């Protein structure tokens, strides 16, 4: 991901987020895309990647944090016209290869349990739910912050996949 990609990535996030209207989660759909400044942190840390479509314009992206010594997928989004073509899976597999090369043993993420392109999708990609008592301290704090921001902890899960 390059700094030049940030506004395109923000657009991808807005369009992908709008899909939450379809599952009755309009409050999630209305959530604004991360600012360019927030996205730039990932660029400068070397933990943001895109898949480019025609004319080298990004159509999907992934952002990664380090949480409890693991590669934590902060966000992965695919522009809806490019969905269901394996781009999200490709990005996650790229993160897994990156994590393995850096000696990180696993990937984690937090997601909605029942949204089809969330929990069930990640299960198909080899992620398993992490019980609350098995979460590392940083992941537990991250999920507590999500709840403070209005995400229902009953609907949210953390998941893990070895690299």
- Please tell me the predicted confidence (pLDDT) of residue 63: 98
Q: Name the token pair of 163.
A: 């690299």
- Please tell me the predicted confidence (pLDDT) of residue 24: 87
Place of tokens 């995400």: 151
CA distances from residue 61 to 68, 94, 119, 155 in whole angstroms, order as listed: 23, 11, 18, 24
Q: Which helix (H) or strand (E) holds 13?
A: helix 6-17
- Please tell me the predicted confidence (pLDDT) of residue 150: 85
Handedness of CA 99, 127, 86, 115 (dihedral sign): negative
CA distance 60 to 91: 8
- Please tell me the predicted confidence (pLDDT) of residue 26: 87
Domains of the chain: 3-162 (3.40.630.30)
Task: Name the phi and psi angles at 2, rounded to 5.
Answer: -115, 160
Handedness of CA 50, 24, 38, 159 (dihedral sign): negative
CA distances from residue 31 to 25, 90, 123, 147 in whole angstroms, order as listed: 10, 26, 25, 15
Chunked mean pLDDT (size 10), the chain, 163 residues: 95 94 88 93 97 94 98 97 96 98 98 90 97 96 92 92 97
């Amino acid at each position: 991901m390059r700094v030049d990609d940030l506004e395109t990535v923000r657009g991808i996030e807005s369009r992908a987020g709008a899909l939450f209207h379809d599952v009755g989660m309009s409050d999630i759909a209305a959530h604004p895309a991360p600012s360019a400044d927030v996205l730039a942190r990932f660029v400068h840390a070397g933990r943001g990647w895109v898949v480019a479509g025609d004319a080298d314009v990004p159509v999907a992206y992934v952002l990664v944090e380090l949480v409890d010594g693991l590669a934590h997928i902060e966000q992965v989004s695919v522009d809806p016209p490019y969905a269901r073509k394996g781009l999200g899976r490709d990005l996650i597999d790229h993160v897994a290869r990156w994590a393995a090369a850096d000696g990180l043993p696993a990937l984690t993420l937090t997601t909605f349990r029942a949204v089809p392109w969330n929990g069930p999708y990640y299960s198909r990609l080899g992620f398993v739910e992490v019980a609350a008592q098995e979460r590392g301290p940083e992941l537990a704090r991250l999920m507590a912050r999500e709840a403070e921001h209005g995400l229902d902890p009953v609907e949210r899960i953390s998941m893990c996949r070895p690299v």
